[in-house]
């Protein structure tokens, strides 16, 4: 599976992933002490929804397009607010002309004492990212294989923060890299928050990944799964997953409110569902379907 950001910016997977990212950052902001966000596969940071890539798939229309047009109740709107504010800030003239990737979203939510480290391997993408953040003293863009971030980049000097791991799944073995990366990172920085994205396409691979994570030795792992359609005969991106290590104590409660709302707006076929499951640390699971 090739999941280059430009083709899928703003789709349902981005919406779910970025809503969770925003909630994690908002939690870290509860304390005055600075923190760092490390984005290991940052992409180009800002996506033109009129570009050839975005128009080829049109996936953003079924993602952020639906959310922006949909209705949220008061509680849902408060929780989704930081994410939606970042999207609106990227479109100052209104409408949806552009979509903020994870580094730009994170940067929008940071305070003056917080820092962002954005890593990107592809030279052209890294160059565009450097232009986007030129002159920003709170952001450091590094042209580097994101998998190397689990070594020398951890722990950050702030000793607080989160690591977003959002690989493009261009190569074989990405599930194994996620697992090995988390193990290595946790040994170096057991107090960090880690958010690991994965596609729900190969159901057997996803099930094996979850089993392996449960045995990884990380005390608290919350698995977030969100499907827009049930499994089909031909493999396709039916859903999105995000595993959060060391999740904030409020995250599960917030997602029990947000996930049903997002699912109501983004689901495409009946029989698809969402779930919250503790792979380690807790025992209560929540599920929903339509």
Residue identified by tokens 């599960």 is 252
Q: What share of the chain is helix, strand, coil (3-state, %, to 5)?
A: 40, 20, 40
Exposed / middle / buried, residue 15 (Cβ in 10 Å: 0-12, 13-18, 19+): buried
Q: Where are the alpha helices (DSSP H) in 112-202?
A: 123-132, 174-188
Q: Is 114 a catalytic residue?
A: no
- For every residue of 93-122, DSSP letters joined together read TSS-SEEE-HHHHHHHH--TT-EEEEEE-S
**What are 161's strand-pairing partners?**
36
> Residue 240 and residue 227: Cα distance in Å, rounded?
6
Residue tagged active-site, from 14, 166, 223, 238:
166
**CA angle (127, 175, 273) in 5-degree steps:** 100
In whole angstroms, what is the distance from residue 7 CA to residue 81 CA? 25
d(CA 87, CA 100): 6
Cα 183 from Cα 252, distance rounded (Å):
23
Residues classed as catalytic = 166
């Amino acid at each position: 599976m090739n999941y280059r950001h430009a083709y899928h910016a703003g789709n349902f997977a981005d919406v779910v992933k970025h809503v969770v990212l925003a909630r994690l950052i908002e939690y870290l902001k509860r304390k005055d002490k600075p923190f760092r966000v490390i984005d290991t596969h940052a992409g180009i940071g800002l996506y033109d929804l009129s570009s050839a890539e975005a128009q080829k798939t049109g996936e953003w229309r079924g993602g952020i397009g639906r959310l922006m047009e949909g209705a949220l109740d008061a509680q849902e709107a408060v929780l989704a607010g930081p994410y939606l504010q970042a999207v609106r800030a990227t479109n100052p003239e209104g409408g949806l002309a552009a979509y903020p990737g994870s580094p730009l979203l994170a940067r929008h939510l940071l305070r003056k004492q917080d820092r962002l480290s954005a890593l990107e391997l592809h030279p052209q993408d890294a160059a565009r990212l450097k232009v986007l953040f030129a002159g920003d003293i709170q952001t450091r863009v590094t042209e580097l294989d994101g998998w190397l971030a689990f070594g020398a980049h951890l722990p950050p000097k702030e000793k607080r923060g989160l690591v977003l791991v959002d690989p493009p799944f261009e190569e074989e073995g990405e599930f194994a890299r996620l697992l090995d990366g988390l193990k290595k990172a946790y040994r170096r920085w057991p107090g960090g928050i880690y958010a690991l994205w994965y596609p729900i396409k190969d159901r057997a691979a996803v099930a094996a990944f979850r089993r392996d994570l449960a045995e990884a030795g990380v005390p608290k792992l919350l698995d977030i799964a969100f499907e827009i359609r049930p499994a089909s005969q031909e493999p396709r991106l039916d859903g999105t997953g995000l595993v959060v290590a060391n999740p904030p104590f409020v995250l599960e409660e917030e997602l029990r409110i947000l996930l049903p709302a997002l699912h109501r707006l983004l689901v495409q076929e009946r029989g698809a569902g969402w779930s919250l499951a503790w792979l380690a640390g807790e025992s209560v699971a929540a599920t929903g379907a339509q």
